[in-house]
Amino acid sequence: MVPLPPPAPVGCSRRAFLAASAGLALLAAGCTSGSPDAPAVSTEEADRLAEQVTVQEAVVAAYAAATTADPALALSDLAAQATDQLDRLRAAAPSSTSSPAASSSAAPAAPPGGDVRTWLREQVAGAAVSHAAACARQTGARAALLGSIAAGLRGHEAALA
């Protein structure tokens, strides 16, 4: 008796599926990026984002104040992350006219002789709450940015505990 050929595969191969998925992703990206029908940022949204720049400036200033008040605290990594977050917020809100000089007066001074770590954790937690609340009133990439920064600050809060 002659052996039968193996049955033909049902459906599509994994390679064909991946190729089709990649093609669809490229098509979708090409259709949506830079769309002239995308809603413009409202003045209200821009103003709220600029307010969050001020909130993040206060966080950066709080890290500087905490480091000055207690140089033994190892905060350089967290402070650098907070500064990076501020840079990303400023880039997303180009109408923001905040300056580094303004950020130095945005946060209250760390308590002299007090628990600097707890004070800083409270400053960071307040900023995280503010960013999360503002996230709900933004759209698109601005909402994602604020949500990401809020989550990052929650991580800072946990690291400071």
Here the tokens at position 156 are 């800072």
User: pTM surpassing 0.75?
Assistant: no
Structural domain total, the chain: 1
Contacts 24+ apart (CB under 8 A), 82-90: 82/56, 82/153, 82/156, 85/56, 85/59, 85/149, 85/152, 85/153, 86/53, 86/56, 86/57, 86/59, 86/60, 88/145, 88/149, 89/49, 89/52, 89/53, 89/56, 89/145, 89/149, 90/53
How many Å apart are CA 127 and CA 119, to the nearest integer? 13
Range from 27-31, 47-51, 95-99, 126-130 carrying the lowest mean pLDDT: 27-31
Q: Judge whether 33 lies within some domain.
A: no
pLDDT, the chain, mean: 78
How many Å apart are CA 97 and CA 99, to the nearest integer? 6
Whether pLDDT at 39 is above 80? no
Which structural domain, as residue segments, surrounds residue 63?
A: 58-160
Q: Judge whether 142 lies within some domain.
A: yes
Instruction: Select the more confidently predicted residue: 48 or 19.
Output: 48
Instruction: Select the more confidently predicted residue: 7 or 3.
Output: 3
Q: Judge whether 147 lies within some domain.
A: yes
Inter-residue contact 82 to 63 (CB < 8 Å): yes
Here the tokens at position 26 are 């490229």
Q: Judge whether 126 lies within some domain.
A: yes
